[in-house]
């Protein structure tokens, strides 16, 4: 059986099982009608461990809630540009935990499309603060 042949219900169950147990933080947002990321609809346990925010604290909010004074505007502009074109994004910047401490996040954002338009974005994030 190919992945494309999996029913949407089984596909959701497979995604949730894998994402819930992933080592990297995973965030899913709806696509905004204006383009770009809309509200958060899913985060996994690794997201909570990385940021200190529980799922209930972030549901319905923008991923921009993790940004702050040292988040690099140029990286965010590149993110917006790439996802507005339906392209995946890869980058890193400074974000902020719930307690206000900074961390360096490397992340991939992948548009999920139906009929040529983005409906959601899946972001896979990793704290690289201690990277040498």
Domains of the chain: which residue ranges?
3-127
100 Ramachandran zone, left/alpha/beta (phi>0; psi -120 to 50): left
> Which position has the higher pLDDT, 105 or 117?
105
Report the alpha-carbon distance of residue 72 to residue 78 in Å, rounded. 10
Q: Provide the token pair at 100.
A: 């206000």
> Which position has the higher pLDDT, 74 or 17?
74
Which superfamily is assigned to 3-127 in CATH? PAS domain (3.30.450.20)
pLDDT value, residue 132 = 58
- Mean pLDDT along residues 37-59: 95
Whole-prediction pTM value? Answer: 0.88
Task: Determine phi and psi for 93, rounding to 5 degrees.
Answer: -160, 175
Residue 29, pLDDT above cutoff 70: yes
Find the DSSP H helices in 39-125. 45-51, 55-58, 73-84
pLDDT value, residue 117 = 86
- Mean pLDDT along residues 32-51: 90
pLDDT value, residue 26 = 96
> Which position has the higher pLDDT, 105 or 9?
105
> Would you say how long the chain is, in residues?
132
- Of 74, 68, 117, 126, nearest to 95 by C-alpha is 68
Find the DSSP H helices in 62-111. 73-84
Query: What three-state secondary structure class fits 105?
Result: strand
pLDDT value, residue 53 = 98
pLDDT value, residue 2 = 53
pLDDT value, residue 4 = 58
pLDDT value, residue 19 = 87
């Amino acid at each position: 059986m190919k992945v494309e042949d999996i029913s949407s219900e089984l596909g959701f169950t497979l995604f949730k099982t894998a994402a819930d147990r992933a080592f990297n933080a995973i965030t899913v947002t709806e696509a905004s009608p204006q383009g770009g990321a809309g509200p958060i609809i899913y985060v996994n346990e690794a997201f909570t461990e990385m940021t200190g925010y529980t799922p209930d604290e972030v549901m319905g909010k923008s991923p921009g809630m993790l940004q702050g004074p040292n988040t690099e505007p140029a990286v965010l502009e590149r993110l917006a540009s790439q996802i507005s074109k339906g392209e995946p994004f890869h980058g890193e910047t400074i974000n902020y935990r719930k307690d206000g401490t900074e961390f360096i996040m490397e992340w991939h954002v992948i548009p999920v499309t139906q009929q040529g338009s983005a409906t959601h974005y899946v972001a896979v994030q990793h704290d690289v603060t201690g990277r040498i």
